[in-house]
Amino acid sequence: MIRTLEWTSQGVRFIDQTRLPMEEVFVTCGTYQEVATAIRDMIVRGAPAIGVAAAMGIALGVKHSSAPDIATLRTEFGQICRTMGETRPTAVNLFWAIRRMQQTFEVAAPQGVHQVKINLVEEAQKMLVEDIAANEAMGRHGATLMPASGGVLTHCNAGALATCGYGTALGVIRSAISSGKKLHVFADETRPFLQGSRLTAWELMKDGIQTTLIADNMAGAMMRQGKIKAVIVGADRIAANGDVANKIGTYSVAVLAKEHGIPFYVAAPWSTVDMNMPDGEGIPIEQRSAREVTHHAGKQVAPDGVLVENPAFDVTPNKYVAAIVTERGIAKSPFADSLRELAQAVPDLAGTRR
| Given 11, 46, 89, 151, the residue binding ligand MRU (CB under 6 A) | 46
- Torsion, Cα 60 167 19 214, to 10 degrees, reads -160
Q: Which amino acid, residue 262?
A: I
Closest among 232, 237, 336, 234 to 285, alpha carbons compared: 237
Element (H, E) at 189: none
Active site includes 236? yes
- SS3 state at 137: helix
Burial class (CB in 10 A: 0-12, 13-18, 19+), 306: exposed
- Tally of CB atoms within 10 A around 23: 8
Q: How far apart are CA 250 and CA 305, in angstroms?
A: 28
What would you measure as the largest C-alpha separation in the chain, in angstroms? Answer: 67
| Given 4, 83, 104, 168, the residue binding ligand MRU (CB under 6 A) | 168
Interface characters, 188-227, with ligand MRU (x: CB under 6 A): -------x--------------------------------
Interface characters, 288-327, with ligand MRU (x: CB under 6 A): ------------------------x---------------
Residue 245 Cβ vs ligand MRU, minimum distance, rounded to whole Å: 8
Interface characters, 131-160, with ligand MRU (x: CB under 6 A): -------------------------x-x--
**162 lines the binding site for ligand MRU (CB under 6 A):** yes
Residue 338 Cβ vs ligand MRU, minimum distance, rounded to whole Å: 20
Interface characters, 222-261, with ligand MRU (x: CB under 6 A): -----------xxxx---------xx--------------
Q: Which residue is nearest to ligand MRU (CB)?
A: 234
Q: How far apart are CA 137 and CA 166, in angstroms?
A: 10
Closest among 69, 56, 52 to 115, alpha carbons compared: 69
Residue among 131, 236, 274, 314 flagged as catalytic: 236
Binding interface with ligand MRU (CB under 6 A): 45-48, 91, 156, 158, 162-163, 168, 195, 233-236, 246-247, 312
